[in-house]
Structure 1
Amino acid sequence: MGVTGVLGGLMGLAPHVLHHVGPLVGTALVAGAGGTALFGLLGLAASVPMLVRLKRRFASWWAPVVALLVFAAMFGISSFVIGPRISAATDPAEPAVSETVDHGVHHDS
Structure 2
Amino acid sequence: MLLTDRRLIFFGGKGGVGKTTMASAVGLALAKHGRRVLIVSTDPAHSLGHLWEQRIGNAVTYLHKDLLAGLELDPEHAAQRHFADVASTVRSMMPEHLHGEVERYFRHAIDSPGA
- Structure 1 or 2: larger helix share? 1
TM range (shorter): 0.3 to 0.5
Larger radius of gyration: 1
* Larger fraction in strand: 2
TM-score normalized by structure 1? 0.35
